[in-house]
Structure 1
Amino acid sequence: MGGFHDGGADGALDDRLFEAAGTQKFMQASISAEPKAKIRKTLKRLREFGRDPKSLMYATSQKLPLIDQIQEELSDELDCRIVIRDGHYFQHQINGTPGALQAYKSYVAGAASYLDGVGAADTIPAIQGLPAKTLCVFLGQELDRRRGKSDLLEAVADSLILWSLEGTDPDKGVFLTLKEIEARVIEALPSAKTFFKGVLPNRVSELISKGDGGRKVNFHKKENGYCLPFETRKRIREENVEDEALKLQVSEIFRNRASENASLATDNSSLIEQCIAICHDVIHKSYHAQGLEIALFLEREEGSDSDLPSINDVLDQAISERGLAGKDAGLIAQVCLSILRGTYYNSTKEERRYLRKLSRTYVLLFMLKNEPRVVEYFRSMTSNFNLYVGADLIVRALSEHLLSKNDQMTKNALKLLKAAGSQLILTDKTLDEVWHHFRTTHLEFINNYQDVQNYMTFSLASQIDRILIRAFFYAKIERASRKKEPFGWANYLGQFLTVTEIARDTARGELREYLIHEFGFTFEDEKAMLSGIDPEQLYELAATIQKTRNKKGRDEASEEILCRNAALTVLRVYQRRKIEGERSGGNPYGFKTWWLTQQTRVQNATGPLIAKEGSRYMMRPEFVLHFLAALPSAKAVQTSYDRIFPTILGVKLGNRMDESAFKRIISKAREVYDDVDHSRAKVLLANASAQLQSDFLKRYEDSSFFSKV
């Protein structure tokens, strides 16, 4: 370990002992089942060897109860700051730092290389201490948002609207427009962007109607703005005063406990104030690290034996970030542990109110994905896929070509997946479908629109069912309105292939290479697609799909080709999963291999096959849009978190959290945390992830975006 040496004392001790040169700080690694005796023996021997230890970090594979009490007891007894890291700590932190990962690669990976061939497909990038139970709760409430089950997040949206309107006052001419409400919420909660934009208009309309309890929001037509009614504004002003006072009361409780602590002199006001600040830091950081677990602990039933999640590492981090070291750091750590033990286990009514408000704020952020661990889970997921991209999605992405970068939603989503490490696959048959779509679209334009194109309006263009023609006219009209150079149909299609050669194989080849370069597709020919596929099963499935689709009026030969292509893609997904060893429940991100498309009618013909395979094969495009492409950066979420929790905003947001919504999340969380162990939670997480990715019944706020091409 860099910067440490054993100082010659290791020979007299049974386990590895390291000293940070010149600091009187030691670290010991041990497997002893008696940690107290081991630590006492270590310090005795160090002093016999002439050392003057000021702190000892004791690392053990044993899992110890009540670590904070052991640390405090031994620190007082031995006049040395004792920090213990046990098996629980390492279980959750082992993948948590670059140093730990590098140590694995340098010292363990080689010895464990024989495992590479055993279930290798499930060896995936690990999240830092994958919070499987927390993620199970999140995915569970997302799956509940199916038909008729969206009231939970509607309550959250209402809470955010009311919070954003705080400070409005018609007497002072202070109103907010819909855009301003949206901007205020998204600035505070970047992860809420897609969800909130989708529900804002409808939820505001509900709030200004006279429902149960009266109108909750007023709209002033003349000012074209929204504000809170007088009674609501009055109540919020009172709440704000109470919240400010509540935090001051909690600080005073901390101050009194610190002053009564025998370790501190009563006149040591500087250290006491530092203890108060660090206690607040620890509370806020604990929600960041394990917010749902803390909320569950605070909402435990009377007589419950649930334990508070460990806060020792959070305390060390808080002390370190304030630049404290040496004797003062050890003293402050002991006092803060004593204060917080009282806060969590023998709290005053003020502390309970304060913590419960913070818990409600955390759950609100959690439900909106504004939680670092949830964001990191979905960010890691983007590198996990092998996606056979459907022709419908490719055509939609190409139709966005002339939109602004921010509006190229399908195109951006595909590029994000590729950049993150997922494999996007363009098959021989999918290319044929896209090429065919170009050819038929070109003929339709020549026959039906070429002679009237100069008379086209936005209103008329919106009624055209061919997405490429519709996109062309939107672009043409928009360019004309800005007095830009005229734009023709040949120019438009010429961005992708040579229009004069559109019916020739050369145009097909050009289109293939354009798609590969633009989106990073991996091309898979028909021979690779057919590998391992039973011809008879392919024929029967294609016939079933054709019968189910029942497309009357379409050329029968073309319909047979499309149905065979669909059947081949379905079977290829299952075949590739078998080849790569993908198992149900084996990957916390769900299956790796999917068909990404909106061709939902195919699913009506494949029920028996899905039942036989035990899993679905089609990923819903809205899932990619909402959960992967719309993710804010980790920095944005962290900034949001740091802005909310250390300030009074963290308490105020809790006031806006719908109580019934909070109770339902806590109830779901308790079911998972009380009844499911960590290994089972990983399996449930994998299954829930696969279900969410393929759920075509789930309600999305703007699901009409992916209407069929």
Structure 2
Amino acid sequence: MHDGGADGIILRNTSQIENRPTHFLQASIEKDAKSKIKKTIAALQKNGRTVHQLTYITSQQVPKLDLIEQEISDEISVGVRIRDREYIIAHLNDSSRHQAIFREDFGHYLEHLRSLGSAPLPTQSAYMRDPTVFVFLRQQSDREEDEPFMDSVTDALSLWALHDTDPDNGQLMSAQDVLNRVLEVLPSIEGLLTTDRILSRLKLLSAKSGKQGRQVRWYKASNEFALPFETRQQLSARNADDEALQIRVVDYLTTRAEKYCEGGVNPKGVGSAALVALQKTFESRGLQFSAFLSSGETSPTLPDLDEPVRSAVDEASPGPALRENFFIATLATVRDCLYNGGDDEREYLRRLAKTYSMLFVLRQDPKVVEYLEDMTSNFTLYVGTDLLVLAMSERYLDRENQSATNLLGMAQSAGARLILTEPVLEEVVTHLRAADREFEHYYSGVEGHLPTELYGEIPKIMIRSYFYNRTADH
């Protein structure tokens, strides 16, 4: 602090006089690189330093940095070199010295990635005794889409249970040990998973010619198993991929939040809270699905976003003075992500949804999934009013973000028959007419004056959809 712009100096050789350097180093996280560089050079000169060259290092990505370097050099006759995020990534492993520095200073932050399924969820879930098992199940199922459900689940749970084994130290597990470890966190699967089934799948995973390769080592003398080093490396890479995706999504959410933050609310805090809210949203929908599996009853509409967002805001604790603005910004950011998400955000939501699907199905009765797999080709779906109205409300979203429309399309592609009954058609028409009359009576005269933060309070989804999209360029 108060260094007059001189974060460091660069000496051409050790004989250069250190109190009269001309090449300075500046490190910054500011987004406007050009402005920061010019201010740094001005500060150095104001403090009596002679500046011939400045090397600027930043964790931001600087587009067209060569043009910025040239423009500054032309304006103030100082040579500038910019080393941005892309440069750092490209040269991080240039030498063993760089690698040693990384391991010493940062390696301990990544140790958790060695554990199976350890890529973190944004917040702790009250419904997961050990979340790593469900994250790992999702990671494995992503790689084995063509595997029968129970084979895929058995393989994944067995590999997860073996995560503490180490053949070099003689730490091995039998099929019964694997089953016992799984049942500690998933007692609901007891009637479906047996020692014989685990044993046969582990033998297959240990075979050199097996479909998945040699993922497990089988010690035939003791009939025990362990994970080899190569498998551990592959599984750690999946954790790293999950965590990198989550970091990118937080960055995207923070950028979205900048549009909605007012009254001193920090966009970064809103971005983090929005990520937690997304997890809680999937969890609340999963609870509804879980209740349906248990009782066959469910409410006619899905839970709204307000409750998950309020819960996420409670965890963020922005303080009484900021709470309302923080809540409004977080809710708007979550909606923006769900309805206008990019590729990374959609992929993150897909992984989150699949993790919770695994949780709630396996917590209830895994046989449900086997039943659904068997009946998919003969599945007849009577489409309800709520789903059709929801699909119509997505008319102006990008196709990738039309969740209800895409759901119907996927069901049809999977061979399901979609049936629209006459009573449902009459309900849809009635809903549209009611929405039209409600808009005419209550909203048409004030539509240009209604604040954005009130759009979410409109009860009819078709009117909400109109307001959210009325100013968009379609």
1 or 2 for the larger relative contact order (CA 8 Å, sep ≥6)? 1
Fold shared by both chains (TM-score > 0.5): no
Q: Which TM-score applies when normalising by structure 2? A: 0.39
The structure whose Rg is larger is 1
Q: Which TM-score applies when normalising by structure 1? A: 0.27
